Amino acid sequence: KFCWYMLTSSVQPTNQNVISSQAMEKLAVKCGEGRGRALIRRIIAVVQTAKILGLPFSEAFEKQPIELLQLLSLKAQDSFDEAKFLVETHIMPASSIARILADSFLKGLLAAHRGGYLDSQKEEGPAPLLWRSSDFLKWAKLCPSEPEIGHALMRLVMTGHEVPHACEVELLILSHHFYMSSSCLDGVDVLVTFAANRVDSYVSEGDFSCLARLITGVSNFHSLSFILSILIENGQLELLLQKYSSTDTATVAPASVRGFRLAVITSLKHFNPN
């Protein structure tokens, strides 16, 4: 009762109140489970979110948690801790979390593509909007379902949106990562089929660099062997090897390296049996 009295008498969603997160955290410690602690922690999360977003507490308080997460995701690198606490203290559907993260990641990809630094390994770009793959992998941990992350990324490339090839490839690479790490083989099948149907579009525009990035980024050389064949058939072996050598070999399993070499040799033998 004491915790509830302190909460309702001192914390109201008005702009005039100055709310101290530290004071509320101390109050949450005083309150046990089932005695207001969870409610106080939820309010603390909104307070912290409002602060980093530059919103009045009353405005943040009126928004749904999923709306706040969306706003936080647009700040990317600057707001992960607040987003993590918000997700920990509020109930949100995994599919909604995945959709928001995928949408924000695409916005970052498009910004990087327009700026001409999508392929850069340096920390440059319109921070904090820019999302790199490493940023997305970190944020994706907020979603309790890896398959939902894969589905959300795939929807972005399958719903007819005009996504540049370079951005589409990055979405496919990450989607494949989450499908494989969660053993979602149906998702992998859908992705491979989609890639097979898109290859002609890449070839017709001479966008072999993106095809090389896709096959080396996904590293599923068996299922995507048709991409290797297309690259070799069109005289792009050197480009393929350059793309592969630019990947982070420290994180590549030896089996993957052997798989790449075997797949390339197999494709070469197909076109030149001798």
Kindly report the average pLDDT of the chain as a whole number. Answer: 83
pLDDT of residue 8: 40
- As a whole number of angstroms, the longest Cα–Cα distance in the chain is 85
DSSP 8-state assignment for residue 140? G
Q: Which residues contact 22 (CB under 8 A, 6 or more apart)?
A: none
Task: Report d(CA 137, CA 157) in Å as an integer.
Answer: 19
List helix spans (H) across the chain: 2-10, 21-30, 37-53, 57-62, 65-73, 80-89, 94-115, 133-139, 146-158, 165-181, 185-204, 208-218, 225-233, 237-245, 254-271
pLDDT above 90 for 78: no
Structure-block tokens of residue 10 = 């001192």
Q: Are 160 and 102 in contact (CB under 8 A)?
A: no
pLDDT of residue 166: 93
**What is the number of other CB atoms lying within 10 angstroms of the CB of residue 217?**
19
pLDDT of residue 94: 98
pLDDT above 80 for 126: no
DSSP 8-state assignment for residue 251? G
Crossing angle for the helix pair 2-10 and 37-53, to the nearest 10 degrees: 30
pLDDT above 70 for 121: no
Mean of the pLDDT values across residues 223-236? 93
Task: Report d(CA 48, CA 69) in Å as an integer.
Answer: 12
Query: Among the listed ranges 114-118, 140-144, 177-181, which one has the minimum average pLDDT value?
Result: 114-118
pLDDT above 60 for 118: yes
pTM comes to 0.83
Query: Which residue matches tokens 């990317």?
Result: 76
pLDDT of residue 273: 66
In the chain, % helix, strand, coil (3-state, to 5) comes to 70, 0, 30
pLDDT above 80 for 29: no
Backbone angles phi, psi at 22, to 5 degrees: -65, -40
- Measured CA distances, 147 to 142, 152, 172, 261 (Å): 13, 9, 13, 30
pLDDT bin (cut points 50, 70, 90) of residue 24 is low
